[in-house]
Each structure stands twice: as C-alpha cells, then as structure tokens.
C-alpha cells in the first residue's frame, strides 16, 4: 500500500512551536488595540527595554514620529481587510533613544477572538546605512561624470544605456536620447567593429586589456573621429555592462596623468559593485 506523504508540520507540538518562536532571529509581535499582547525575546532585544515596559506602553510610543501615521495606517487597513503592503520598513525608537530601522512582514489574525496583527520584523539599520552610503557615492560620481571633459558611454547587452554630456557633444547629437537605445557598435567604424566586439567579449570574460587604445568612432552624422578609449566592466541596473571613456584626439592631450583614463575611479556611474579590468 502506498504511504501518504509525511507532512512534518502537522507533527510539531505546541511546545516545539513555542521554542521556535522564542528562539527566532526575528522579532515576532502581536499588536491589538495599540498594545503588544505578545512578543518574543528578540522584540525585547531590539527595543532594548524590559518586557514589563513593553506590555504597559502603547506600541506607537516606540515608532518614530515621522513614520507613525503611515505605520498605523497600514495596521488599520490590515485589521479592516483592506489592501495594504504586507512588507514595509519604518524606524523604531529604542528605550535608550537610539533610532533603528526595521522591516515588518504583517498579516491580520484573530487573537483571543479579537482582530489583531501579527508581524515578523527584522532589524535592517545596517542595510539602510549601506544603502545611504552607496546612494551618496553614486550621486558623487554621477556629478563627476556629468562635468567630465571626456566622453563616457555605458552599454549593456550591446545597447547604449547611458551617455554623459561630453559624449553627446563629441558624437554631435542633439541630446542623449539620440544615442541611448542604439547598438553600441553602430558608433564604431565598420573596419574596426570585429576587433572592438572581440575586445568587448574579452573584457566581459575577465581578460586583462591594456588601455588606452586608439579606435575610430562614427559621429552622429557619420563622420569618423579618431579617439582613445579605456573600458571597464561594471553593473548597471544590476546587469553586466561596459563603461567606455572616450577622448577625442582632435583636442590637446592635456593633464594626461590626471585624466579619467588613468583615474583610480574606474566606475563613476553605478560604481558599486564594479569589476575593473
């Protein structure tokens, strides 16, 4: 006789379930009428106060004032069965006054016969800090790129996805929209396309290439331009891409040592994470 599948979840006892909840690495809490009617030890650890105080203090007292209206609106909608985000982030004020970010995953439940919300929350302060640092870093490098004298082009999957103002000027286009979305090889001289495509494949595969390299590009009107290029691999919108720094040889080769070609800042746009080659 064929045995029915073993559903191990049905075999978990109340005591085993309690041990799982009590030792969870997430704060698990039940909110009812703005009071914490249940919380596990991780909740006490995150907020940093005695359990007795958590029981006797309205939960809103621990929510950052700027986040309080939105958080309570989410709780209210969950209780009323209306559409509301199940996962969202907000700030808590710890017992010592320190502010911490948490991410909550919330659902509506019945607790002792009354409507309540169950939330599994994770502390994400470090994640938020990292996010802010990356954003500030990206903004800083974008400003550098926007005022750079060298043309900078990024292409992904063979298509141009970013150009700076210097690139628009060098290619003789009216705006960045004239270049973005076009095949990158369309701007390379037909005589050099095969070599450039192979070099791009080598670059993406991790091979080391000595830069700068002289190449011939085509301006928007089809006229040729002899240029020096340096390329590196980066992630652009979470996809592998190639950043190309282009110097038009019509102009004097000034400040060669300080140029972007030799800069330690190899990935000025969407610079993190980056793989320099």
Residue 21 has pLDDT above 90, yes or no: no
* The domain defined by 14-123 carries CATH number 3.40.50.720: no
Q: What is the mean pLDDT of residues 178-187?
A: 94
Residue for token pair 């400040």: 255
- Sign of dihedral through CA atoms 84, 88, 91, 94? positive
Strand order in the sheet with 87-93: 35-39, 27-32, 114-123, 99-111, 87-93
Peptide bond into 138 cis (omega under 30): no
Residue 260 has pLDDT above 50, yes or no: no
Determine the CATH number of domain 137-275: 3.30.450.20
Supply the pLDDT for residue 277. 34
Supply the pLDDT for residue 141. 74
Beta-carbon contacts of 259 under 8 Å, excluding residues fewer than 6 positions away, are: 150, 247
Residue 254 has pLDDT above 70, yes or no: no
Supply the pLDDT for residue 250. 66
Strand partners, 109: 116
Supply the pLDDT for residue 128. 76
CA atoms within 13 A on the CB side of 13: 3
Residue 19 has pLDDT above 50, yes or no: yes
More confident residue, 255 or 182: 182
Question: pLDDT band at 268, cuts 50/70/90?
Answer: very low
What tens digit of pLDDT does each residue of 104-148 get? 999 999 999 999 999 999 888 777 777 777 677 777 777 888 888
Question: pLDDT band at 11, cuts 50/70/90?
Answer: low
* Whether the domain at 14-123 and the domain at 137-275 fall into the same CATH topology: yes
Q: Where are the domains of the chain?
A: 14-123, 137-275
Q: Which DSSP letter does residue 86 get?
A: S
Residue 43 has pLDDT above 70, yes or no: yes
Supply the pLDDT for residue 251. 55
Residue 215 has pLDDT above 70, yes or no: yes
What tens digit of pLDDT does each residue of 52-95 get? 888 889 999 999 999 999 999 998 999 888 988 889 999 999 98
- Sign of dihedral through CA atoms 195, 198, 200, 202? negative
If you average pLDDT over every residue of the chain, what do you get?
83
Beta-carbon contacts of 258 under 8 Å, excluding residues fewer than 6 positions away, are: none
- Mapping DSSP to helix (H, G, I), strand (E, B) and coil, where does residue 164 land? coil
Neighbours of 209 (CB within 10 A): 13
Q: Which DSSP letter does residue 169 get?
A: H
């Amino acid at each position: 006789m064929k045995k029915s599948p073993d559903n191990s979840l049905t075999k978990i006892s109340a005591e085993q379930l309690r041990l799982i909840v009590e030792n969870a690495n997430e704060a698990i809490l039940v909110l009812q009428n703005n009071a914490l009617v249940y919380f596990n030890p991780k909740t006490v650890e995150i907020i940093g106060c005695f359990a007795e105080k958590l029981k006797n203090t309205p939960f809103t007292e621990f929510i950052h004032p700027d986040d309080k209206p939105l958080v309570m609106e989410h709780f209210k909608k969950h209780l009323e069965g209306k559409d509301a985000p199940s996962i969202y982030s907000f700030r808590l004020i710890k017992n010592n006054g320190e502010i911490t970010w948490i991410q909550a995953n919330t659902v509506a439940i019945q607790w002792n016969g009354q409507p309540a919300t169950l939330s599994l929350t994770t502390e994400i302060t470090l994640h938020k800090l990292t996010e802010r640092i990356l954003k500030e870093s990206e903004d800083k490098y974008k400003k550098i790129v926007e005022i750079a004298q060298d043309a900078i082009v990024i292409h992904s999957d063979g298509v141009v996805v970013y150009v700076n103002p210097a690139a628009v000027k060098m290619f003789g286009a009216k705006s960045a929209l004239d270049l973005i979305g076009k095949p990158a090889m369309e701007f390379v001289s037909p005589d050099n396309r095969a070599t450039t495509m192979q070099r791009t494949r080598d670059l993406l595969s991790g091979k080391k290439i000595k830069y700068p390299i002289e190449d011939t590009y085509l301006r928007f009107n089809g006229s040729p331009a002899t240029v020096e290029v340096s390329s590196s691999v980066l992630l652009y919108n979470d996809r592998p891409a190639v950043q190309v720094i282009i110097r038009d040889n019509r102009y004097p080769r000034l400040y060669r040592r300080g140029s972007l070609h030799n800069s330690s800042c190899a990935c000025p746009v969407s610079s993190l994470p980056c793989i320099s080659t």
